[in-house]
Amino acid sequence: MTTLPKELESEVRKGWFAVRRFVNEHHGSRPDLTAVLLLIGLNEVPFAPEQPNKEEIVDLIHVGTCKALGMGAHYVLRETDAHGWPHYDLDKPLPSFDSMRSQETYLKYHVIQYFKAKNYLLEDE
């Protein structure tokens, strides 16, 4: 079981605030983690419909999750299908966490890295 260091939790708290501030400034709402993963999916699948159905929403959240965890080399893009949807393979197993909070913090850390890589956040945010 993995326990995250307190320093990482503090860093993620600060970075997560910056992510939520960025999304609020650009989309007018302070999202939760699921909404941010959906936004990442929409960013990675730009042809997605303006009003996705439930299945498409789930697929977009999955793309967002894989893309974010790809920042930690957990997932790699395998292919883009004929419809333009990306498909990922697990490349490096995820750690086993001691709590749901640690798992969420780990995912948020990678979301923050995604936002930094896209230059949506400054490196020190």
User: Tell me, what DSSP letter sits at residue 31?
Assistant: -
Closest residue by Cα to residue 85 from 118, 65, 53, 60: 60
- Give pLDDT, residue 67: 98
d(CA 87, CA 36): 19
Position 9, amino acid: E
What are the residue ranges spanned by the domains of the chain? Answer: 6-117
Summarize pLDDT for 33-70 with one digit per residue, the tens.
Answer: 999 999 999 999 988 888 999 999 999 999 999 999 99
Summarize pLDDT for 92-123 with one digit per residue, the tens.
Answer: 999 998 889 999 999 999 999 999 999 999 87
Token pair, residue 83, equals 């419809």
